[in-house]
């Protein structure tokens, strides 16, 4: 199937994230944003990529009643994973939690995983992307400046790579940058073509 043929499908993006909406629009796709409140808890035994894969599938399953042969829902979930301590950093609960997370990331490499699920009435395809991000050491003053000015409370790991902190703290990345923004668009494009 060519990419142009994909227009016969109605695409639903189940995400409030302005970054995901922007990236999907940049792919040249027509889609509708439709979200549902889904409990984002997950079993404690899940590690690394297992967490966002579990959550994106959970989000997709919430649309079971609305899907038909020509409707495809796209769900995604991004986490920050500290391989040094096998710890997941989700969205911060408050200012102090954001400080704690950024102090954990300071001067270290961390992993960003995004799980994506494509689901129609009769077919489900899930995949993930991994990007390694290397942070320079940050001062408490830099961390507090960032949190006060950019309010990263809706972001996994308490930061957005496209924000000020991405400009000053990210020394290098291995893997796709767009994955760190919350949607691995190259991989999504390839999976949509196959779907």
Its pTM stands at 0.92
Question: Are 157 and 166 a contacting pair, CB within 8 Å?
Answer: no
> What pLDDT digit, counting tens, does each position of 44-82 carry?
999 999 999 999 999 999 999 989 888 999 999 999 999
pLDDT value for 70: 87
In DSSP terms, 78 is beta-bridged to 114
Catalytic residue among 44, 64, 69, 77: 77
Domain positions in the chain are 3-194
The mean per-residue pLDDT over the stretch 154-162 comes to: 92
Quick: pLDDT tens for 25-36: 998 888 999 999
What's residue 69's pLDDT? 81
Measured CA to CA, the distance from residue 195 to residue 19 in angstroms comes to: 23
The answer to whether residue 5 scores a pLDDT higher than 80 is no
Domain made up of 3-194: CATH architecture: Alpha-Beta Complex (3.90)
97 flagged as catalytic: no
**Distance (Å, rounded) from C-alpha 145 to C-alpha 135?**
16
pLDDT (0 to 100) of residue 1: 42
Q: Which letter, b or e, does each residue of 151-168 get, where b requires 16 or more Cβ atoms within 10 Å of its Cβ? A: ebeebbbbbbbebebbee
| Chain segment 100-130, per-residue pLDDT in tens | 999 999 999 999 999 999 999 999 999 999 9
Pairing between strand 87-89 and 10-13? unpaired
């Amino acid at each position: 199937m060519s990419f142009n043929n994909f227009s016969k499908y109605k695409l639903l993006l189940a995400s409030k994230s302005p970054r995901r909406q922007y990236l999907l629009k940049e792919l040249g796709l027509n889609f509708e944003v439709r979200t549902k409140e889904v409990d984002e808890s997950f079993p404690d035994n899940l590690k690394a990529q297992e967490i966002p894969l579990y959550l994106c599938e959970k989000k997709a399953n919430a649309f079971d009643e609305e899907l038909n042969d020509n409707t495809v829902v796209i769900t995604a979930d991004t986490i920050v994973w500290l391989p040094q301590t096998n710890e997941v950093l989700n969205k911060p609960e408050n200012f102090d939690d954001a400080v704690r997370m950024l102090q954990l990331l300071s001067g270290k490499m961390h992993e960003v995983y995004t799980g994506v699920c494509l689901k129609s009435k009769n077919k489900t395809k899930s995949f993930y992307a991994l990007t390694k991000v290397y942070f320079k050491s940050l001062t408490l003053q830099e961390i507090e400046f960032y949190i006060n000015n950019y309010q990263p409370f809706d972001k996994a790991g308490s930061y957005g790579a496209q924000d000020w902190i991405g400009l000053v703290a990210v020394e290098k990345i291995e893997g796709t940058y767009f994955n760190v923004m919350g949607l691995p668009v190259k991989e999504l494009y390839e999976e949509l073509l196959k779907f």
